[in-house]
Structure 1
């Protein structure tokens, strides 16, 4: 099984977030803008976890103290867990959270109406 490349994933998440922000400018509804904002924020958080994991891996290469090595390995494991769970509780693919079905209209309530 190949090793996770935190730096590569960080760059990919950052580029994807940048593309989402660029596409946001073409949104013609507030609803679409909110969804784009949420996705970009989620991707930024994922890139942050990758940067933290990469930094811990870099420090682990030269660390001699066993206690410090264990702490760095734990940090790496937490970063991998954050990538798998999107930060423990923050799950970015539920971009439409707080959008309640409006049964009378057969559609959904726009979350940006509260903003």
Structure 2
């Protein structure tokens, strides 16, 4: 079956490859989001923020799985959508990052 976005590769081989690349790239999302939460959320609201992050992760996983099943032969569109969303969040995270965390700056200043 050549229903993949690249006609030279069978759909299953391409899906395994794209899933591997996707998993490797998304492996940094949770630690990055947790560090951003810890940096920007007031300490008394951290528990609530981490809880909401966990709920969001579970909902996103459920929606992604459901959309892949729903898409049928057009499963690869989900990867395009996820890629676009990941790039957008990467740009947001890049614009919010600091070269050195505030806690390290405090330690060096003392």
Both structures adopt the same fold (TM-score exceeding 0.5): no
Q: Which has the higher contact order (CA 8 A, sep 6+)?
A: 1
Structure with the bigger percentage of helix:
2
TM class by smaller structure: 0.3 to 0.5
